[in-house]
Amino acid sequence: MIKQRTVKTAVSAAGIGLHSGSKVTVNFRPAPADTGLVYTRTDLDPQVVIKCTPEAVRDTQLCTALVNLDGVRISTVEHLTAALSALGIDNLYIDVNAPELPVMDGSAQPFIYLFESTGIQDLAAPKTYLRVARKVRVEDGEKWAELNPSDGGFQLDLTIDFNHPAMERDLQHLVFNFTGRGFAAEISRARTFCFMRDVEYMHAHNLALGGSLENAVVLDDYRVVNPDGLRYPNEFVKHKMLDAIGDLYMSGRSILGAFKAYKTGHKLNNMLLRAFLSDAKNYELISFADDPAKVRSETFEFIDARIAEPA
Ligand SMILES: [Zn+2]
């Protein structure tokens, strides 16, 4: 049986909030099966709980936020979500003492490291996957994103299109067969990126006060400003891939299917996930509770390749 997962023990992380520039602490606690990813704003009285669902997602100028019906928000959740997807963690309590998670280094790698160090445990319930049953496509002008049925696990094919001297054309397309281990090794360290002119605008408007070369790749009109340069030659498309993986996990369920997109972003990825889940004919809920032999080998490879070994 392929089981649901949570963390082995409670663990905390602290860092800078992207919006506020202040120190933020987040505490992760084990959660029982079928809980999902549940956030709590511990700085509010009374505390406010927001479950991570595709409907709670709002794309903002800086990041992805979860917002409840009263307008209470928790920002900068997207890179954590990508890490949880790679680790196969379906259930987790996430307590944060601010309106945002710490931005860490702008990638998913610090969260991967944290949870791998803490340990991960299997729960008694089977893990449920969303298998794509028919094509779903969304468009926004020239941008588009789609999910298609596939025989294997979860494949991603993503193209960005920037006309910038620091972004070579052949480094703007990426195909990735998702595995947890592959994500950790090839994708997780890709940092968010932005342009100097945007940074100047945001700082002038008191936005992104925590943004710096410590947690983003910054480009001027000609080159990468960060003194140490890039972590991967194609770090930009890799980060967009990381974002898409996080965005498509906002239901807390892993997808088995083929994702393909052109110039997509958080907003379009969320539109795709909502469209996908809006009609039960688009997917099949499957778990591998009884007969793993029924699962095609590629799928099984994907499932087995979740990073951390369970307790
Ligand atoms: Zn991102």
Domain boundaries, the chain: 3-127, 129-304
CATH number of 129-304, picked from 1.10.760.10, 3.30.1700.10, 1.10.3720.10, 3.40.50.1370: 3.30.1700.10
Adjacent-strand bridge partners of 128: 287
Kindly indicate whether the domain formed by 3-127 is annotated with CATH number 3.30.43.10.
Answer: no
pLDDT in tens, 194-231: 999 888 888 888 888 898 999 999 999 999 999 999 99
Cα–ligand 1 centroid distance for 75 (angstroms): 12
Cα–ligand 1 centroid distance for 242 (angstroms): 7
Environment of ion ligand 1 (residues, CB < 5 A): 192, 243
Residue 203 annotated as catalytic: no
Among 175, 115, 42, smallest CA distance to 307 is for 115
Cα–ligand 1 centroid distance for 249 (angstroms): 14
pLDDT in tens, 19-70: 889 999 999 999 999 999 999 999 999 999 999 999 999 877 678 899 999 9
Tell me the whole-structure pTM to 2 decimals. Answer: 0.93
Confidence of residue 287 (pLDDT cuts 50, 70, 90): confident
pLDDT for residue 177:
92
Angle among Cα 200, 202, 206 to the nearest 5 degrees reads 115
Once rounded to an integer, what is the mean pLDDT over residues 229-257? 96
User: Could you give the angle at which helices 78-87 and 235-247 cross, rounded to 10 degrees?
Assistant: 80
| Average pLDDT value over all residues in the chain | 91
